Amino acid sequence: MIERIRTIVDKEWAEVFKNKVVLLTVILLPVIFTVLPLVILSLMRTTVSGSGSTDMPAQFAQLCSATASGSDCV
């Protein structure tokens, strides 16, 4: 039974390596979906730290009481 499953899996992988579009999809999409969030997090970190301000935006501050800190408001 295990030999049959192994034969089917080997056949499927052989087919993947024959078809370049499928191979590109199998390799490229996981790489993109792994790298893209890391890039976004990196850009967000540099944007937030580069702004020089850790205060709340004025629109959010209007919704909170005057005595509440930023973390309390959130």
**pLDDT (tens place) for every residue of the chain, 74 residues total:** 999 999 999 998 898 888 888 888 888 999 999 999 999 988 887 765 544 445 666 776 677 766 666 666 66
DSSP state of 65: -
3-state secondary structure of 55: coil
pTM, two decimal places: 0.44
Q: Are 73 and 64 a contacting pair, CB within 8 Å? A: yes
Residue 49 confidence (pLDDT): 52
